[in-house]
């Protein structure tokens, strides 16, 4: 993409309504525009990152054996009355009526709807286990939406639901989701710590939230600092291997890590004092096991091995895809702007032409642009007739991990400048070597 042809409405000034870093930078970088309180239009740069995150989630869900579906945004209130949650959910549920006077609601979550799909189509234990998921827009009518996409009313979310014959089977599904989420977040350049949490309106006894440590987090968290030394890495996981998935759950949850809602001071005091930490965290996902909470009232049963009907055991699993963008920025920025991890960057590399209109500089930039594109990478070429300082400021603001700077002076010596956004370090390389190095960086994270 050439910046002269792209829609990137960056702002020089910080909007007054933006209270936290991610909100300020997303507005300034032209990623989003507020449409109403807690509701945003996703502009090209923001939409590109949203799709990057969505693709990672899809890939890791498929790796774990989960099956994608798409459910509607509007639901009938009848299903929620059947489960008993329609009146209990509270004012966060946006309720409405259609032209025929039928009660409807804008989806805040979809346990009832997916259970209705299951009960109408699955009748035998032989069809289990089954996990269905979607990535879909949700709406929760927050009393005071704030912090941009971190606490908006409309949000993009992956919600998955497992159906299993027994509690043991469902707990394996729980472990499988925990493993897949650890992989997902690390691919996004995040360390998301699973913490014992409260189940809230979803219900159930077993639940973990995944939290990214950040000063602006909405939750107070208490943890053993040893958990921050854990990494998932490139382990080869067999998701059908119960012992392997259970071992990973134990590895990542045996150290103390809890939100303020489930914090136990006595247990926390058993952690060596030098490892006790109190911080803030941003929730970016949660997994639940809730047994037959929905299957019993909604009649989601299968014929068991003995021929008798058995209510299935269920769990649900969410990742806040749009919220993740805010969390990544909160965890990865400096005073100049965003610093995207390579796995989620909207463009792989920026190209800055220091002297637009110079025949040699223009030709070199075009050659680099075409070479990166031929390798399957997406460069963003700043070909505008702007001052160099303005071009650098834009690149720093939007946070591309790597920048190739091309100017007549360097080209006389046969070099361009390759700069790492995270460290600020630069090196002079031939144009061909700069392209090769950028390609190698992304090959390593593919």
Between strands 94-97 and 333-334, the pairing is unpaired
Q: What is the CATH number of the domain that holds 96?
A: 3.30.930.10
For the four alpha carbons of 156, 162, 163 and 167, in that order, the dihedral sign comes to: negative
For 40, other C-beta atoms within 10 Å of its C-beta total 22
Q: What Å distances lie between residue 370 and 171, 313, 315, 375, CA to CA? A: 50, 53, 48, 9
222 domain-assigned: yes
Query: Are residues 315 and 270 both part of a single domain?
Result: yes
Q: Total domain count for the chain?
A: 2
pLDDT-based confidence at residue 10 (cuts at 50, 70, 90): very high
326 domain-assigned: yes
pLDDT tens by residue, 281-306: 999 999 999 899 889 998 999 999 99
Domain end point (choices 287, 311, 338): 338
Query: Are residues 381 and 237 both part of a single domain?
Result: no
1 domain-assigned: no
Average pLDDT over residues 419-436: 96
Query: Are residues 334 and 355 both part of a single domain?
Result: no
Query: Are residues 273 and 188 both part of a single domain?
Result: yes
Query: Are residues 282 and 400 both part of a single domain?
Result: no
For 115, other C-beta atoms within 10 Å of its C-beta total 24
Say what angle helices 242-253 and 167-187 make with each other, to 10 degrees: 60
DSSP classification of residue 120: T
Query: Are residues 309 and 331 both part of a single domain?
Result: yes
For residue 114 the two structure tokens come to 């997916």
Average per-residue pLDDT for the chain: 93
Query: Are residues 219 and 267 both part of a single domain?
Result: yes
pLDDT-based confidence at residue 151 (cuts at 50, 70, 90): confident
Query: Are residues 248 and 186 both part of a single domain?
Result: yes
Query: Are residues 287 and 364 both part of a single domain?
Result: no
Q: What is the CATH number of the domain that holds 432?
A: 3.40.50.800
pLDDT tens by residue, 21-42: 999 999 999 999 999 999 999 9
Report the distance separating Cα 217 and Cα 94, nearest Å: 26
* Owner of token pair 């939230």: 209
What residues make up the domain containing 421?
A: 349-444
Q: Percentage of the chain with pLDDT > 90?
A: 85
């Amino acid at each position: 993409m050439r910046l002269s042809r792209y829609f990137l409405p960056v702002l020089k000034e910080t909007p007054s309504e933006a209270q936290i870093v991610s909100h300020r930078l997303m507005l300034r970088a032209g990623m989003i525009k507020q449409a109403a309180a807690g509701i945003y239009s996703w502009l090209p740069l923001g939409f590109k990152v949203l799709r990057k995150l969505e693709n990672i989630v899809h890939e890791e869900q498929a790796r774990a054996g989960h099956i994608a579906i798409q459910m509607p945004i509007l639901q009938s209130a009848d299903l929620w009355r059947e489960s008993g949650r329609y009146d209990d959910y509270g004012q966060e549920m946006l309720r409405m009526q259609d032209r025929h006077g039928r009660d409807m609601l804008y989806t805040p979550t979809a346990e009832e709807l997916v259970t209705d799909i299951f009960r109408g189509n699955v009748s035998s234990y032989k069809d289990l286990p089954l996990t269905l998921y979607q990535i879909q827009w949700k709406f929760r009518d927050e009393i005071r939406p704030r912090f941009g996409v971190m606490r908006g009313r409309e949000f993009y979310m992956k919600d998955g639901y497992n159906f299993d014959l027994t509690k043991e089977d469902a707990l394996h599904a729980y472990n499988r989701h925990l493993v897949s989420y650890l992989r997902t977040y690390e691919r996004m350049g995040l360390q998301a710590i699973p913490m014992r949490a409260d189940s809230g309106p979803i219900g159930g006894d077993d639940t973990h939230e995944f939290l990214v440590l950040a000063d602006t987090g909405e939750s107070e968290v208490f943890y053993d600092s040893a958990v921050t030394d854990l990494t998932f890495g490139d382990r080869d996981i067999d998701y059908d291997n119960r012992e392997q998935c259970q071992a990973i759950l134990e590895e990542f949850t045996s150290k103390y890590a809890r939100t303020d809602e489930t914090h136990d001071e006595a247990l926390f005091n058993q952690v060596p004092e030098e490892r006790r930490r109190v911080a803030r965290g941003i929730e970016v996902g949660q997994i639940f096991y809730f047994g037959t909470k929905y299957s019993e009232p909604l009649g989601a049963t299968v014929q068991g091995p003995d021929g008798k009907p058995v209510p299935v055991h269920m769990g649900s699993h969410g990742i806040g895809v749009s919220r993740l963008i805010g969390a990544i920025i909160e965890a990865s920025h400096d005073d100049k702007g965003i610093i995207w991890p390579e796995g989620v960057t909207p463009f792989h590399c920026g190209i800055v032409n220091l002297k637009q209109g110079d025949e040699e500089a223009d030709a070199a930039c075009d050659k680099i642009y075409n070479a990166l594109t031929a390798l399957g990478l997406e460069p963003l070429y700043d070909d505008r007739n702007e001052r160099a300082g303005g071009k650098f400021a834009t690149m720093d603001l939007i946070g591309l991990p790597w920048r190739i700077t091309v100017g007549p002076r360097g080209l006389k010596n046969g070099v361009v400048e390759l700069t790492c956004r995270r460290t600020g370090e630069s090196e002079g390389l031939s144009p061909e070597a700069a392209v090769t190095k950028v390609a190698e960086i992304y090959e390593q994270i593919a």
